[in-house]
Amino acid sequence: MDSEGIERRVNPRVSAVFDIQGTPDRGGLVARMQGADLSLGGLRCTSTTDYPEMTQLAVRLMLPVDGNGQSEPVDVKAVVVRSNEIASATQNNSRFELALFFTGLEADAKDRIARFIDR
């Protein structure tokens, strides 16, 4: 919501916890992330690695399947649109909250994310 209390999101969002892996397009360390919410437009997650805004990422979402403890990977392209450090009790365990906007969502990935959101 914006400062006037108006919801600006186009896509419905679902709160869910799921694992994510993110790798910068330019190469580098694979970051382990944890998803907090998801829509067809993007997601919010926490990460052990901080990425500056506008960093392009190859992202693998590990979406739970039917509550059986299994997950299936969904690969997408995304860009970091917001990054905030999360206060930690110990300085050596920094975490970051990232907002990612999907920039590459193929039809199969879009269908799988939509099915997950609709569950």
What tens-digit pLDDT sequence spans the chain (119 residues)? 444 544 444 666 788 888 999 988 777 778 889 988 999 999 999 998 889 999 999 999 999 877 677 888 999 999 999 999 987 766 667 889 999 999 988 999 999 999 888 87
Say how far apart CA 97 and CA 116 lie, in whole Å: 22
Given a contact cutoff of 8 angstroms between Cβ atoms, the answer to whether 55 and 95 are in contact is: no
14-118: CATH topology is Thrombin, subunit H (2.40.10)
pLDDT of residue 95: 87
pLDDT of residue 94: 80
Say how far apart CA 46 and CA 81 lie, in whole Å: 13
pTM, rounded to two decimals: 0.82
Backbone angles phi, psi at 62, to 5 degrees: -105, 85
pLDDT of residue 60: 94
Residue 53 has which token pair? 């805004």
